[in-house]
Amino acid sequence: MDAEPPTPLLGAKALDEPSVFLPENLLREGRRQRDRPDEAVPDICLLDPDGDIVRYLTRTGQAVEHAGWACYHTTLWDFELSGRRIGVVGCAVGASFAVLIAEQLAVSGCDLLLSVTSSGMITALGAPPYATRGPASTTSRLVTGPTRQPHSSTSSTVHSAGSVSPS
């Protein structure tokens, strides 16, 4: 005879069975419950843990909410950078949560996911910018390193010409 579990939460568990909480299942049910279309996300997406990029893009009217993103706890924003559609999710903080968002983006069509953090300058490389803008026929970005002041926030600016700089 099996011993009673110390709490009902531990009883009747099939721990050797695969999880039903698969990213595609969560999104399918989210789309159904939120009446969202089954629409692929951009093939390149960003995780913006601080939310600085999302705040700038939405404040300046450069991003629109992705109609098909069905995750309950985040919003996927679409914007254009050098003629390419990019998706960005702000404030996805915490390793397990960020992994869930990454898995949901992957099953939704994202082929390249970048996480943009604000670690600051680790090694002095000289005065920013660290990369120069290439010829007009190439896709390159001008990335400048923000200098954080104590108790101030830094936000990145994505310019329509394709460069990124602090605002």
Burial grade of 69 (CB within 10 A; 0-12, 13-18, 19 or more): buried
Sign of the CA dihedral 64, 161, 146, 133?
positive
Judged against a pLDDT cut of 60, whether residue 97 lies above it is answered with yes
Task: Reply yes or no on whether the pLDDT at 165 is more than 80.
Answer: no
> What whole-number distance in Å separates Cα of residue 167 and Cα of residue 160?
14
In the block, residue with structure tokens 């695969």: 18
Whether 121 shows a pLDDT value over 80: the answer reads: no
**Pairing label, strands 84-90, 44-48:** parallel
Segment among 47-51, 89-93, 159-163 with least mean pLDDT: 159-163
For residue 102, name the pLDDT band (cuts at 50, 70, 90): very high
Q: Would you say 98 and 49 are in contact if contact means Cβ atoms under 8 Å apart? A: yes
11 in a structural domain: no
- pLDDT of residue 11 exceeding 50, the answer is yes
Q: Which of 19-28, 39-48, 61-70, 116-125 has the lowest mean pLDDT?
A: 116-125
Q: For residue 63, is it within any domain?
A: yes
Tell me if residue 78 falls in helix, strand or coil. strand
**pLDDT, mean over the chain:** 79
Position 55 in a domain = yes
Measuring CA to CA, how many Å separate 58 from each of 75, 77, 88, 98, 138? 12, 8, 11, 21, 27
Query: In the chain, how many domains are there?
Result: 1
Q: Which domain holds residue 73?
A: 38-118+126-166
Q: What is the mean pLDDT of residues 26-49?
A: 95
Lowest mean pLDDT among 8-12, 44-48, 83-87: 8-12
The per-residue pLDDT for range 127-163, each reduced to its tens digit, is 766 555 444 433 333 343 343 333 333 444 443 334 4
Tell whether 32 is covered by a domain: no
Is 60 inside any structural domain? Answer: yes
Percent of the chain surpassing pLDDT 90: 52
Structural domain contains residue 72: yes
Residue 31 lies in a domain: no
Nearby residues of 106 by Cβ (< 8 Å), 6 or more positions away: 23, 113
Q: Please give the structure tokens belonging to residue 107.
A: 């099953």
Is 70 within a domain?
yes
Instruction: State phi, psi for 47 to the nearest 5 degrees.
Output: -100, 125
